[in-house]
Amino acid sequence: MEELNLEAMHSQFATPKKQLAEQEIVNGRPIRETIMVKYKVINDVKVTEYTSAMFAFPLVLILYFAHWTSQVFVLATYLLVVIDVISTYNTHKLVDKLNFMEEDLTTVAHMMSEFKKKFNSEFIKSILICILWTAWFFYEFWKHGYTFSSLALIGGIIGLISEFRNQHKAVNAAQEIIDEIERNG
């Protein structure tokens, strides 16, 4: 009788044991740690954008007091910087609220995909605004009696390069997170 019960128990455990042996068990912790490293790149881009905005306020004010720009230009620039900060916040809040060590990897991949779409959309708007702002800056210099400003040109080029670099870093990091989840998740 005991032998029969023991055989029944062995047969009950045989099926799950076979299924378990056939499944590949993946430890999620290394994947999540890799995701956190790549997320740090995205977060660094956000910090860079906020830092750039902080430097814009005093710089534009200095240009105004040096009589190189108009008050309207200063106010418009401040408004653009505030809009950029709000846009950065709204774009990054998609991924800032994720707990990468606990969240379902499918959710993380979906949120990274949404982040990429939103970031790319904001990038296109930022480039257009940067070009328009630089043109207006040249106009301000011309209007105030200056024919050419290497400062305006350098500022515009630095702004464009910075935007391209930040976009490339953030979107690539998001794609690497998605790829890592697809490979190992």
- Percentage of the chain exceeding pLDDT 70: 82
**Each residue's pLDDT tens digit, 107-123:** 888 999 999 999 999 88
**pLDDT reported for residue 185:** 60
- Residue 104 one-letter amino acid: D
DSSP-derived secondary structure for the chain: -HHHHHHHHHHHHHHHHHHHHHSPP--HHHHHHHHHHHHHHHHHHHHHHHHHHHHHHHHHHHHHHTTSS-HHHHHHHHHHHHHHHHHHHHHHHHHHT--TTTS-HHHHHHHHHHHHHHHHHHHHHHHHHHHHHHHHHHHHHHHTT-S--HHHHHHHHHHHHHHHHHHHHHHHHHHHHHHHHHHH-
**pLDDT reported for residue 182:** 87
For the entire predicted model, the pTM comes to 0.73
Residue 163 has pLDDT above 90, yes or no: no
Among 37-51, 84-98, 145-159, whose mean pLDDT is lowest?
145-159
Residue 149 has pLDDT above 70, yes or no: no
Q: Quick one: average pLDDT of 38-57?
A: 91
**pLDDT reported for residue 11:** 64
**Each residue's pLDDT tens digit, 18-37:** 554 454 445 677 888 888 99
**pLDDT reported for residue 5:** 63
